[in-house]
Structures are given as C-alpha cells and as structure tokens.
Amino acid sequence: MTFSIFEGQEASQIIFQFKASSPAVTFKLTGETDGIFQIQPDGLLYHNRSLDRETRAVHKLQVSALDVHGTIVEGPVPITIEVKDINDNRPTFLQSKYEGSVRQNSRPGKPFMFVNATDLDDPATPNGQLIYQIIIQLPKINNVMYFQINNKTGAISLTPEGSQELDPIKNTFYNLVVSVKDMGGQNENSLSDSTSVDITVKENIWKAPEPVEIIENSTDPHPIKITQVRWNEPGAHYFLIEKEKLPRFPFSIDQKGDIYVTQPLDREEKDSYVFHVVAKDDLGIPLAFPLKIHVKVKDINDNPPTCPSTVTVFEVQENEKIGSKIGTLIANDTDEANTINSFLEYRIVDQAPKSPTEGLFLVQAYTGVFQLAMQSLKKQDIPQYHLTVEVSDKDFKTLCHVQVNVIDINDQIPVFEKSDYGNLTLSEDAVVGSVILTIQATDDDEPFTGSSKILYRIIQGDNEGRLGIETDPQTNAGYVMIKKPLDFETAFIHNILFHAENPEPLVPGVEYDARSFATFSLFVTNVDEAPQFSQQVFQAKVSEGVAVGTKVGNVTAKDPEGLDISYSLRGDTRGWLKIDPVTGEIFSVAPLDREAESLYRVQVVATEVGGSSMSSTANFHLTLTDVNDNPPKLVKEYTGLFFCYPLRKPGSVIFEATDDDQQSFRGLQFTFSLSSESLQKDWEVSKINGTHARLSTKHTGFEERVYNIPVHINDGGRPPMEGTVFLPVTFCTCVEERCFQPAGRQPGMPTVGMTVGILLATFLVIGIILAAVFIQMKNKDKDNVKSAQASEVKPLRN
C-alpha cells in the first residue's frame, strides 16, 4: 500500500485503519518509522509529528497482525509513505559573493561566468524551479544594461550594448546584484535569495593589427610571418576569409594566430590586399567579429621606363620660332607613381642628320617637352630629323626614338576655280543627303599637309544650316549637299557665299582675299505639304467618372502653306470621344470606363481645307484614373464547396473576393458579413486578410442539401461599394472523403419508360430482319429442290 502525505502537516494525523480477522488481536509496525509513525492495537496507523521531505522523502514500513501470544498471523504488509513537498525552503546561492572578468567587445550572449543557487525542495515541482534575475547594475550609464543573465542557468553575458560600450579605460569595475526565486518566479509567495557579483572589464586584445607593408618580389624563403592576432583566451581556432576572389590567395594563418605571406608579391600585379581573420570555438562558432587585415605591397624599382610607341612623330613648321614647343614625349614606368622609382629624366643623345648643325632641338629633362633650339630648318634641304632620347629612372635606362617632320609654311591661300557657280532650282522636298553642287579650289602649298588641305564653309545665305559641304581629301573638291529639309515657306531663295580656308593658320602677312570666296544661288519651289502636328503623341489624364461632354484634351497642327485645318478622329472603337473640327478640342460623348480600357488610344487626323486636302495623323492617349464604381465579387464560381453529412464537428471553407477597380498601394481591403441576421445562428463569416474570408458552421445540425449563403462584401472605397455573393455549400454523403450525389436525369436524357420502349422497338426491328432472312433462305432451298427434279427429266443434248 502507498500513501502520500504533505510534509509539515500537524501531528496525530490518521493515515489508515487496518483490520484483521481472528485470531489476530493486535498490530505491529516495523521499518523506517523514525519514531514518527505508530499503529494502535486496533489497527489505526498515524504519525505523531510533522514530516520533513528534506529529511526523508520516502518511508518504507511493514504492518503485521499478531495473536495473543505475539505471533504474526497476517502480514507483514509493505507500506510506502511518500512525503510530498511543500515550498518550505528558500533558494540559497552557493557563494555570498561572486567575482568574474570579461573582455571588452566580447560577443554578446556568450557566457563569461555563472552564478549557482540550490533549493532543498523537490526539483520536480515548482517549489524547486529557480529563476535568476539581475536586479541592480552599478554603474548604470544612461540607464542601459550592459549585462544579462540566463534566467534558468545563471549564465552571465554581455548585452549588445555592453559588447559595444564596455571600456576598461572608462570603467574597470561593475557590480551586479543577482536574485534567485523559486516557484519559477511566478508566485507572489516565492522565496528568494540574492548575491553580489563583481565584474572586472579587461582590455580586448582581439584587435586588428596595423596595416602591413611587404616589399615586392622578396627573395627570402617563404612563408614569412607578417603580423599576428590573438584571441583573449587560449584554445581559439583561426581562419582567414578572402574579401575578393583571387586566382591565388598568398596568405595563411596558423593556430597560434600568426599570419604569413606564402609567396613573393608583385606590386605591379596587385598593390594591396584586404582580407579578414576570424576566431572560432571548438564548435565552429565565431567568438567575436572578424578583424580586417590590410597589406600594402611596397614598391621596388624593378621596372625600366618604356617608350609610348616605337617612333614618336612631331611636326614643326620651317619658320617656327626659337623656343616653340613642338611636342611631348611621355614615357611610362609601371613602378609606383610619384616615387623615386618612377621619376623619369629625358636626354637627347643623338640627332640625325646633324645638318645644318647639331643641337637643333632640346628636351626638358623632367617633363619630356621638346622645343626648337635654333631657327635653321629648311624643308627643301632636310624634311625629316631622327632623334634618339635616353629616358632613365634611378636604376634603368631606355632609348626612345623621335621623328621630327619639317612641314611647309602656309603662305599660299586657296583659290576657287570660278567665283560664281550660277543658279540651281530645287523643290522643297529634295532628298536630304543628296549632292546638289561640286565646288573646287586649289592651294599651292605642300600637298596633303594642313597648309594645303582646304575646308569649305558657307558664311552667308544659309542661317538655318540646311546645307553642308564635305571635302574630298585627295582632290580638295567640295561636295555641297542637303543636310536638312528645304522649306519654301521659310526661304524660297538662298544667296550662298562660299569661303575656302586651310586648317593651318596663314603665316603673318598673308590674308585670304576675294579669290577664296565664291557665290551660288539656290531657288526653292513650293510643294503642297500635309499639315504638321506640334507633337506626334498627345497625352491627357482624366477621371473615368467625368460627366459626358467634359473636355479631356486638345491637339494642335498647322499647315505649312497656311491653309485652314479640319480635325477628325480615327480608331474611336468605343465611341467615347468627339473632336471639335476647328479647334482640335476633344470631348467625352459617352461614359468612360477604366476597367474596360485604362489607356484609350485614338488617332487624330488633320486635313487641310482647300488645296489638295492633304492630311496627317497623330496619336492621342487618354489615361483614365480610377473611380470606385465596381462592387466586389468572387474571384471564381465556387461550385465544389461541401461538408460530409452528417457533420461531426463544425467546419469551414475559404473563399476569395476581388473587384475590377484599380488597387491602392495597400491592396484590396474588403470586409465580409452575412447578409441576414437569421443566418448568424448557423453560420459565421470571419476575415482572413484583405481578400480572403472563412465561412464557418456554428453547429452540426444541418440537413443533407445545398445551402446558398448570401455574403455581403464591402470594399471600403470612396464611395464604398458593396456586393452580395452567394456561396453554394452542399451537405452530402461522402465516399472516400468525396461528395457522393446520385446523378439526376439531365435535360435531353430519356426516362425509364422511354428507354424500355426504345429497347422493345429495337428488338422488334431485329426480329423482323431475322424473320425476313429466314424466309428468304427457305424459299431458296425450295427453288434448289425444283431445279434438281427438273434436271432429272431434261433430255441430254449432243
């Protein structure tokens, strides 16, 4: 037998009344009585003082029945007394004061110390369930908690704010008061204890090292240690993380935190590297934020200067003044810019030919600018010089080659072959790009130089730039062509003045004169042109709810010949618009409907009145903005909604609504309700979101039939629109969780009587056919017999 007794109860509490049959006359109690449990001779078991679960939680007893001689006649019967716990012990911290330390910038949520408390009450009951809490933090800066505690384990860690803000320079020590409560901290009668926790903030040695400089192309044995990182505690595992994916990553780290470069680096290939190092615990969890490592590759002078090209060509006129700049040689050095390794010096080491004298040219030592040193150049004598230039940095020298071409001076002006190119008449629809005239001038300067090349310009008679001139580079012929459409209405005659000139400036004392100018007259004839719209696409925007007759837009066009214009519409498929034929104003003539067409496109035709009645078209696009004029409706026809009959428990179905109006940025926001209060005792409609709702049954007492449930749906628009939809819900017998309904007679299907009649008629026709066949076969057999008899008496023929 087992009995449960709460500890702390008053003494002399009866536990059980034992009885025994003759010859038993008394009872005896043995076992773990602890002087607490007793039994009277009549079998009454009781305890004489209160129990204490913490002293003994279970008492094992035995009860025996004795006769008058003290002999056991029944039993012993085992008795178990379970002492049930009451909350009579307060939790107690194992230490009255705890001390710990934490590194600044430690990862938030990672425990750095624990506090522990015990409670003698039963841990399997709320009496022994402990909850930890930090109740005081000193100092508490800006009312922000830097520390947090796991309320079940007593693990203390940093908050995200503490991970960022703790600084041993500002505050080295913090004191916490931590409390512990039993009963899970949920009962006002919970017992509690508190302890003091002193925390020392230590400097975080997990810091990014200073940027590292590595000399490029090192010949020392690799790998070479370049820097190091250290986690605050031993046992961390270190890993490098590439910031950019490189074909080869030339760095590594060992498990002491030492970082190495594994091979020589080339600054000209990549001048710096950035990567990260992370420390993880044994489970692979990062201990803190990754550190950035920056490596700069230090330049050495390992690249010689390079010439910009095989030969650099300069030109100089033979009358150039002394000191004139004739060109710049820009050599390159791929070593680091703005350092001594890429600082270049220029020097002319040879001139060929050395006629009429050596030293005709000089170069600025540090800029590479070439100048004329003597005014002794004659193209007729020496048209070309070759210079050898030494370009050097502090360790390397390179020879570059410069060719100087002496060019003729521009002392001859272009001269037109004739001064007047006559007249030409063209219609205003002449093709753009067509050549209408060829002009020619000559220049006696050296051929194929800037001094002899001729450029033609129209300096008078073409203010709109309708004509252009292209020069043939071989013959200097000028081809006059139409660059823009001619326009009779703007100008019907163009008195053109051509000017021929050189790209090179003339030498002082030589000027262009009348020989470099020529005239030409162009007459433009009129062509009847169609009206021209001010733009090809006219756009307007109105509300779809505007009243009929509202002006929705207008178009404008004009006729180049100045004729009046009549406007009309084309493609008004819905008959929504009309246009004023004189003003071009467009009006609505019927209700507009954005849901039918949100962007309505029509063509506008402008026809000239009189003349040849030419016309042109433009597009009119009318954007219709929405008016809330469509009631909500179901997104589809819900014909398959059913519940299995009989309904065992209330059920529900989900349906979706929509409407044709334009949705707002918040989307559709419908509200749903039953259309009749009488339905509310059987059904309920609940909103799921802006477009979906749930129709639920309130009980199970429905008949086996179809219920059409009317539901009101309101769109909440301005003005609000409401629609009533009907949801057909079938209560039916189910087979394999599918609604089973006997098929009724469909329209056009025969009844049972009709079917029997059709079958009988069919059988009758088949019988008649078989009888006819049988009779025909019978007659055929008779004919065969007669033929046989006749053949027996028929005389033979010779």
CA gap 26, 44 in Å, rounded: 10
* 414-525 against 532-625: fold identical: yes
Number of C-alpha atoms within 13 angstroms, CB side, residue 747? 0
Domain ranges of the chain: 2-84, 92-202, 212-298, 311-407, 414-525, 532-625, 633-739
Please give the CATH number for the structural domain made up of 92-202. 2.60.40.60
How many other β-carbons are positioned within 10 Å of the β-carbon of residue 613?
A: 12
> What's the mean pLDDT when you consider all of the chain?
89
Alpha carbons 298 and 273: distance in angstroms, whole number: 12
- Confidence check: pLDDT of 737 > 90: no
The distance from CA 412 to its chain's CA centroid, rounded to whole angstroms, is 68
Three-point CA angle 474, 478, 484, nearest 5°: 130
Distance CA 777, CA 682 (A): 76
Q: What does the DSSP 8-state code read for residue 649?
A: S
568 to 132, 195, 617: CA distances (angstroms):
86, 94, 10
Q: Of all residues in the chain, what percent carry a pLDDT higher than 70?
A: 94
In this structure, of 373-377, 441-445, 501-505, 589-593, the range with the lowest mean pLDDT score is: 373-377
Cβ atoms within 10 Å, residue 494: 21
Q: Please tell me the predicted confidence (pLDDT) of residue 735.
A: 85
Cα–Cα distance, 568 to 377 (Å, whole number): 77
pLDDT band at 757 (very low <50, low <70, confident <90, very high): low
Provide the CATH number for the domain formed by 633-739 in this structure: 2.60.40.60
CB 430 within 8 A of CB 486: yes
Q: Which CATH superfamily is domain 414-525 in?
A: Cadherins (2.60.40.60)
SS3 425: strand
CATH number for the domain formed by residue range(s) 532-625: 2.60.40.60
Residue 755, pLDDT score: 57
What three-state secondary structure class fits 210?
Answer: coil
The answer on pLDDT for 753 being more than 90 is no
- Residue 506, pLDDT above cutoff 90: no
The whole-number pLDDT of residue 771 equals 75
User: What are the tokens at 41?
Assistant: 């001779």
Q: Is 344 helix (H, G, I), strand (E, B) or coil?
A: coil
Q: How far apart are CA 525 and CA 489, in angstroms?
A: 9
Task: Write the CB contacts of 769 (distance below 8 Å, at least 6 apart in sequence).
Answer: none
Asked if residue 789 has pLDDT above 70, the reply is no
Give the mean model confidence (pLDDT) for residues 593-608: 93
The identity of residue 625, as a single letter, is T
The Cα-based distances of 595 to 4, 540, 642, 722 in angstroms read 78, 17, 34, 17
Burial of 410: CB neighbours in 10 Å, binned 0-12, 13-18, 19+: buried
For residue 551, the Cα-to-chain-centroid distance in whole angstroms is 43
Region label for 519, one of left (φ > 0), alpha (ψ between -120 and 50) or beta (otherwise): beta
What tokens appear for 307 in the block?
């010439």
Hey, which bits of 20-118 come out as E strands? 26-31, 37-39, 44-47, 58-66, 72-84, 92-93, 97-103, 113-114, 117-118
Q: Are 268 and 235 in contact (CB under 8 A)?
A: no
Alpha-carbon gap, residue 148 to 186, rounded angstroms: 20
Kindly indicate the confidence band of residue 148, based on its pLDDT and cuts at 50, 70 and 90: very high
Chain centroid offset of residue 696 CA: 39
Answer yes or no: are the C-beta atoms of 81 and 55 closer than 8 Å: no
| One-letter amino acid of 449 | T
If one compares 781 and 429, the residue with the highest pLDDT of the two is: 429
Q: Does residue 778 surpass a pLDDT of 70?
A: no
Dihedral of the alpha carbons of 225, 226, 231, 236, in degrees to the nearest 10: -40
Q: Tell me the CATH number of domain 212-298, given options 3.30.360.10, 2.60.40.60, 3.40.50.620, 3.90.1530.10.
A: 2.60.40.60
Who has greater pLDDT, 506 or 173? 173
Segment 9-68, tens digit of pLDDT = 887 788 899 988 888 889 999 999 999 999 999 999 999 888 888 889 999 999 999 998
H/E segment holding residue 518: strand 517-525
At residue 548, the pLDDT reads 94
Neighbours of 504 (CB within 10 A): 17
Other beta carbons within 10 angstroms of residue 589's beta carbon come to 13
Highest mean pLDDT among 331-340, 433-442, 637-646: 433-442
- Mean pLDDT value across residues 515-530: 90
Distance CA 385, CA 376 (A): 13
According to DSSP, the residues that pair with 176 across neighbouring strands are 137, 197
Specify burial of residue 295 (Cβ count, 10 A radius: 0-12, 13-18, 19+).
buried
Evaluate whether 480 touches 446 at the Cβ level (below 8 Å): no
Q: Is the CATH code 2.60.40.60 the one for domain 2-84?
A: yes
User: 556: exposed, middle or buried (C-beta count within 10 Å: 0-12, 13-18, 19+)?
Assistant: middle
The predicted pLDDT at position 756 comes to 54
Span 644-694, pLDDT tens digits: 998 989 999 999 999 888 777 677 889 999 988 889 899 999 999 989 999
> Over the stretch 307-319, which tens digit does the pLDDT of each residue have?
999 999 998 887 7
Distance of CA 796 to the CA centre of its chain: 112
The average pLDDT across 180-202 equals 90
Kindly indicate the confidence band of residue 762, based on its pLDDT and cuts at 50, 70 and 90: confident
- Among 86, 41, 80, CA closest to 60: 80
pLDDT tens string 574-590: 999 999 999 999 999 99
Residue type for position 311: V
Segment 366-373 shows an average pLDDT of: 94
Is pLDDT at 607 greater than 90 in this prediction?
yes
Instruction: For residue 233, give both structure tokens.
Output: 């505690």
Distance of CA 406 to the CA centre of its chain: 63
CA–CA distance from 529 to each of 81, 560, 583 (Å)?
A: 119, 6, 20
Q: Which burial class, exposed, middle or buried, applies to 58 when counting CB atoms under 10 A from its CB (0-12, 13-18, 19+)?
A: exposed
* CATH number 2.60.40.60 given to 311-407: yes
For the record, the structure tokens of 625 come out as 């903005």
538-555 pLDDT per residue, tens = 999 999 989 999 999 999
3-state secondary structure of 431: coil
Q: Are 353 and 385 in contact (CB under 8 A)?
A: yes
Q: pTM for the whole thing?
A: 0.39
pLDDT computed for residue 583 by the predictor: 94
What are the strands, taking DSSP E only, across 303-407? 311-317, 325-328, 345-352, 361-363, 369-372, 384-392, 397-407
Above 50 in pLDDT, residue 565? Answer: yes
pLDDT at 76 over 60: yes
Which tokens hold the place of 564? 């009046």
Instruction: Give pLDDT, residue 748.
Output: 47
Length of the chain: 798
pLDDT of res. 742 = 56
Residue 279: predicted pLDDT: 94
Distance CA 5, CA 16 (A): 12
Nearest to 229 by CA among 156, 182, 279, 272: 279
> Among 500, 499, 491, 496, which Cα is nearest to 519's?
496
